[in-house]
Structures are given as structure tokens and as C-alpha cells.
Amino acid sequence: MLSNYLKLALRVLTRRKFFTFISLFGISFTLAILMLSISALETELGSNAPLSDRQEMVFLDRLVQKNMEQDTTMLVDSSLVDGIMKFDTTYTHERVNKGTSISSFGLPFLQDHVADLDVAEKYSFYATGETFNSFVNETKVEIEAAYTDHRFWDLFDFQFIEGRPYDEQMVNSGATVSVITEKLAQRYFGTTKNLLGREVEMAGKSFKIIGLVPEATQMLLQSDMFVPSSTKAGYPGSRDEYYGRYAAAFLARNGNTDLLKHELNKVAESIPANSQFNAFMLQGKTSKELYANQMMYSEDPESAARWMTFFVFALLSLFALLPTLNLVNLNVSRIMDRSSEIGVRKAFGAQGKDLMAQFVFENIVLTVIGGAIGLLIAIGLIYLINDARLMESLVLQVNMRFFLYSMILVLFFGILSGLLPAYRMSRLHIVNALKQNRS
Amino acid sequence: MISIQNLSKVYRTKTIETTALNNINLNVPKGEFLSIMGPSGCGKSTLLNIMGLLDEPTSGKVEIDGQSMPNYNSKSVARFRNKQLGFIFQSFHLIPDLNILDNVELPLLYAKVNRKERKRLSEEALESVGLRNRMQHFPGQLSGGQKQRVAIARAIVGKPQIVLADEPTGNLDSSMGNEVMDILLRLNQVLETTIVMVTHDANMAKKTDRLIRLYDGTQIQ
């Protein structure tokens, strides 16, 4: 039966060239754009190195400090009783927030409060996002540096092309060593070969290269050069000031991120007051929540993540819905054009479900062909985008998961756009269907 | 084989009611070749459609081989049509995207016959209408007479007990019409298939066992 359907589907497609062209054009371009979106999401949010364990990680990027003070508010309520104005005064004694500060962390603060969490299997403290200018042969090279501890390399699985990461002893001794990305190597030296032992000038210091890694595709870890945190000016920083440039990442024991977040909340309650603030919040975030929070700040990162997921799916669904509706419309007229065939098939014993299966199958064949073309277009676009570095820091990837998502998308598209017309057609009255005269 | 009792068919719209068939009583014994004649719009095709379980009567009863069919849209009726009935239409109704062999195979596909057997039976049916050499062609490559012979092969490939033909020679010239009629007669005589044929052509009707006439939905002969 299926081979028969396939034969017929291919015949119909080759015979109705214009319809086929219009359909394939719509399907392939829509799918190409959707696949490109999936690729961007997968590259940024999927579990790829160096963030392979991201589903089990909790990130701590902001310290919320509040100055809570006991305050009294007076509320006067008036009402007219028997022509006489009566006043009712209420005093409320409560702790109110007199000032909030949100910032990243000072390194000593992290070391003092979150270095020994029960639920954290691994952790790392690091500062990213500082940019320095270096000059190579009188040409400016901008370097985005990350100051990290040695645990950084255990937590994030960077794939070393050459060399190795720095160890605890190097960090403790303030060794001016570095791990650089291929991207920086290319910009700084014009090559990615034989770089171990050479030096990069940054922030007035010379850092010896001991490792070479590919650039991380995820924005979260996109730095050009990684150096020990002990080489940072002003290291380690004041114990009294809680804020600084650092963030923390933890690997939750047994992947239990909720428990880890809970432990962070508990730690926050026990943080002693400093000169300005007396109440603190340590909001641990999953990687998804971290992204969502960067896009829309919310006191509740979980709700921000839910909104982001909803927003992304709504946007993609809307984008998929328009061509699907168009395709449904095209399919209805295409199938109704074949009503004589439907009448004949029913007369000779086809049931509604047989016809549904046939027309949905035909549509799946059409969308799979469209999907294959769309996939080729998407791959082409990804290479073009990466090559021209159109998305600056984001390097899009094509991988097996990307193919899988794309195929699911194609099948969903095929079934959705075929189902409604197939259902309508299967309900067609035989006698009416046969009145369409075609041979 | 076919028993029709007090059969009426009325088409209703919001403003008008049209009686297509009015109290028809008819028995078609097994192996009979019956023709139905009458002017256009007299209800011939409607009667044939109801006999073929393609349409429902407004009132009355249709029994085929002793079975009455309550719901023409049910799975069991679809199966019954597949096994017991074959249809030939005036305008052939071949599927243009399928080749001749695949067109003839169609009823066997829904009877869940395996591919090898489907091919064998279809070739046999095409042989019986003299078109075995055309089985890889498509309908668009055949003449009207050839198309109708393919339609006959499709109608008989499942070896149904009854073949219902709606003006099978209506779109053909006389020599092609005679050719098609000869095949139907041979089918009736050799395989004892019961055939009910609607026709405008008195010469064709004369060749059959019995003729009934309809006028304004009523049987007059």
C-alpha cells in the first residue's frame, strides 16, 4: 500500500509542477529559517562542550543587597458618621527596603560564603567581560579576558587543541600563564600553530601561552584569553565589600539543581550585614534562567525562563503557522481537484482512514522533499553566517541533534498541513465526488 | 440478488423538494443482465447509485444477496462494496496519475490482497478486455474505448457478483460501444455476473435480458 502511495505522490508532484514549485518553495524556505533558529538555540542552549553538564549546573551571577529598616507608617481613614467626620488612624510597624544594590561578586565574598556548599560537586569562581587593548606591530588587538581559578577547567570541558590548563599551584603563585582561543591566536599571531611558550601582552603583563582551545560557541563562556585570577589587578579584593566582578558556577550533586538553589538561599540568610546592607539574596540560576534573566530582568528567574521558553515557542509557532495555513489552503484546492479520484476510491472500497492515510502520506513526501531542500539551504546559510561572522560572537553549529530536531519539525509540518484537507476530503460524499468529470 | 422495496429518494433544499425516485419495487435475480432506460433526469443514475450503496434512499429498503444495508457510510458497507460490487462509469473515472495496471489493481488494494497476487489478477482482468499490452500506459495515452475497457477490468478484477454500469457506452462511438457491450455480455454469460446497466441506447438495451423504464422517478415498465 505504501509503495503505491509513494508512486502516486511522486507522480502527482511531477505532473503538477507549478503547485509543487510553490509548495516546495514555501516549505523549504520556512524550514530553512526555522532550522536556522533551532541551530542558534541548540548552539547557545544545548549541552555542547565546554558546557556539556549545563543541565546539572547552577550559576550565581548577581548579588542582591538590601538595606532593610524598621519603619512605621501611619494611615488615616476618615468616614462621615451621623453627620460627624470620624478619623481612624492605623500605625504599621514593619521592615521596609530603603535601598537595593545589584552587582556581581567580590572574590573574597564567594570564597567566604559559597566555596563549601554541601550540594555542589564542583565549583568555579571567575570574572569575564573585561576588555583590554594590546598592540601587535602597531595594530590594535582587542582581548576579552577571563580571570578564573584552576577549578574552572574541571567544571567546563574545554577541548584542548594543544597544551593544558593552569593548575592550583600556578593560580596560587600568581603565574602569568594563559590559555587562549584559536580566534585570538589568529588575530594576535596570524596563526594557530606552534604557539605554546609564546607570550601575549595584556594589561601591562606578558602571559605565557600554555594551552590553546577553540572558541566557546556559547556567549556565557566567550572570552579570548583565560588567565589565573591571581594575576588580576587588586587581587583578591576587599573582604568588606561584597561586590566585585566575579561570578560563580556550580555542578549540582546528582544533578539536583533545586537543592543547590535552596542551599544558596539558606546561605544568603546567614550572611552578616556590612556597612551599607543587611539583607542579601543569592539567586542560583540554571543556564536557561541565566539567559532569560539577561533578556528580561525579573526577581524570579524561573518565571523569566518560563516566559522566555513561551516567547521563543510562540514566535517559532507563529512563523511556522503562516506557511502551514497557506499550505493547507493549497492542499484543499489540490485535493478537491482530485475529487473524482476520491469518489472512485470510495466506490471501490476505500474507507475514510485509507484516504486520510494516503493524502497525509503524500503531504509528508512533499514536506520531506521540501525539508531536505530546506536543510541544504539552512546548512549553506549557517556556513555563510559563520564564515562572514555575521552573528559576531555566535558560531552556529550543524550537528546530529540539529538534524533530529529538523526532521521532527518537517514531519510535524507535513502531518499538520495534510491532516485538515485530508479529513475534509475523506468526508466527501461519493456521488458528489464522482460528479467531477476527469479521466 | 438485488431486491428493492418501496424505494423513494427525495432531494430537499431550503426552498424546494424534488422527488428523484418514487416508490420503486424491483427484483434482479442472480445472473441477470438488466438495463434501465429513461429520459435524462428521470432518476436512472440515482437508482443505480442506491443499488451500488453509493447513496442512501429517503425511504424503502435495498437488499443485496439477502443483506440489507442500514448505513451506507459504514466500514462494513465499504467492505461489502469492495468484495461484491463493481462499478463502470460513463466518464471512466480512471486515476490519471496511475498507470493502467495500478488503476485496475485499485479494488484489490483495499481488499488487502498481496502485491504479487494483485499483479496476477490485474493482468488477467486486462487480458480479458484485450489490453494486457497497455498496462504500463497512463489513461491519457488511451482512446475512449480503451479507457472504458480498463474501467471494466477494474470493475471485474475483484470478481464481484454484481457489476453496475452507468451509461458505459454513452461517451463512445458505436463500434467502440459495441466492443464494450460485447465484453459485458461475455462477462454476464461466462461468469454469470449480475449486471445492471443504465443506458440511453435502445440497441444496447435490447441485447440485455430485461429492460425497465423510468419516467419522472417512477417505473413505467
CB-nearest to A349 from B107, B140, B147 is B107
Residue A168 banded pLDDT, cuts 50, 70, 90: very high
- Give the DSSP per-residue string, B81-140: HHHHEEEE-TT----TTS-HHHHHHHHHHHTT--HHHHHHHHHHHHHHTT-GGGTTS-GG
Judge: B106–A8 Cβ closer than 8 Å, yes or no. no
Name the strand (E) or helix (H) holding A226: strand A225-228
pLDDT digits (tens, 9 = 90+) for A25-48: 887 887 788 778 877 777 777 777
**Which has the minimum average pLDDT: A30-34, A261-265, B183-187?**
A30-34
Residue A90, pLDDT > 80, answer yes
Average pLDDT, chain A: 86
Residue A431 banded pLDDT, cuts 50, 70, 90: confident
Mean pLDDT of all residues in A416-424 = 80
Output the pLDDT for position A392: 55
CB contact burial A254-276 (16+ within 10 A = b; e otherwise)? eeebebbbebbeebbeebeeeee
User: Measuring CA to CA, which residue among A279, A281, A275 is closest to residue A96?
Assistant: A279
Q: What is the dihedral of CA A161, A163, A166, A170, to 10 degrees?
A: -160
Shortest alpha-carbon distance between residue B114 and chain A (Å): 9
CB-nearest to A345 from B49, B102, B106 is B106
Rounded to whole angstroms, how far apart are CA atoms B103 and B83? 17
Q: Sketch the domain layout of chain A as residue ranges.
A: 2-48+307-434, 63-282
Output the pLDDT for position B100: 94
pLDDT digits (tens, 9 = 90+) for B86-97: 999 888 899 988
**Which residue numbers of A have CB closer than 8 Å to B's CBs?**
1, 3-4, 7-8, 11-12, 15, 340-341, 343-351, 354, 430-431, 434, 437-439
Shortest alpha-carbon distance between residue B221 and chain A (Å): 26
Mean pLDDT of all residues in A156-173 = 95
Residue B59, pLDDT > 50, answer yes
CB-nearest to B55 from A1, A348, A431 is A431
pLDDT digits (tens, 9 = 90+) for B1-24: 889 999 899 988 888 888 889 888
Name the strand (E) or helix (H) holding A65: strand A63-81
User: Measuring CA to CA, which residue among A370, A371, A341 is closest to residue A358?
Assistant: A341
* Residue A129 main-chain phi, psi, to 5 deg: 90, 5
Output the pLDDT for position A401: 67
Locate A163 and state its grid cell: 597544551
From B146, which residue of chain A is nearest by alpha-carbon distance? A439
Percent of chain B whose predicted confidence (pLDDT) is above 70: 97
Output the pLDDT for position A436: 64
Residue A135, pLDDT > 70, answer yes
Contacts of B81 in chain A (CB under 8 A): 347-349
Judge: A340–B154 Cβ closer than 8 Å, yes or no. no
Locate B82 and state its grid cell: 469492495
Residue the block writes with cell 434501465:
B36
Residue A391 banded pLDDT, cuts 50, 70, 90: low
Rounded to whole angstroms, how far apart are CA atoms A20 and A11? 11
CB-nearest to A4 from B81, B94, B109 is B109
Output the pLDDT for position A393: 56
CB-nearest to B75 from A7, A345, A351 is A351
Name the strand (E) or helix (H) holding A71: strand A63-81
Mutate to test the interface with A, among B45, B53, B87, B97 (most CBs of A within 10 A): B97
The terminus-to-terminus CA distance of chain A in angstroms comes to: 22
Output the pLDDT for position B210: 93
Contact B140, B95 (CB under 8 A): no
Residue the block writes with cell 438495451:
B205
Output the pLDDT for position A40: 79
ipTM value, please give it.
0.93
Indicate the fold that domain B2-219 takes in CATH: Rossmann fold (3.40.50)
Output the pLDDT for position A438: 47
How many residues in chain B?
221
From A1, which residue of chain B is nearest by alpha-carbon distance? B109
Contact A205, A176 (CB under 8 A): yes
Average pLDDT, chain B: 89
Mutate to test the interface with A, among B75, B104, B109, B171 (most CBs of A within 10 A): B109
Contacts of B53 in chain A (CB under 8 A): none
Mean pLDDT of all residues in A249-255 = 94
- Give the DSSP per-residue string, A90-150: EEEEEEEEEEEEEE-B-HHHHHHHSTT-SSEEEEEEEEEEEEEEEEETTEEEEEEEEEE-T
Rounded to whole angstroms, how far apart are CA atoms B44 and B166? 9
Residue A399 banded pLDDT, cuts 50, 70, 90: low
Output the pLDDT for position A29: 83
Name the strand (E) or helix (H) holding B62: strand B59-64
Residue B109, pLDDT > 70, answer yes
Percent of chain A whose predicted confidence (pLDDT) is above 70: 95
The pTM of the full predicted model, rounded to 2 decimals, is 0.65
Locate B25 and state its grid cell: 419495487
Mean pLDDT of all residues in A99-118 = 93
Judge: B110–A8 Cβ closer than 8 Å, yes or no. no
Residue A439 banded pLDDT, cuts 50, 70, 90: very low
pLDDT digits (tens, 9 = 90+) for A286-342: 988 888 877 776 677 778 878 887 888 788 778 777 777 777 777 777 777 788 888
Contact A248, A214 (CB under 8 A): no
Residue A361, pLDDT > 60, answer yes
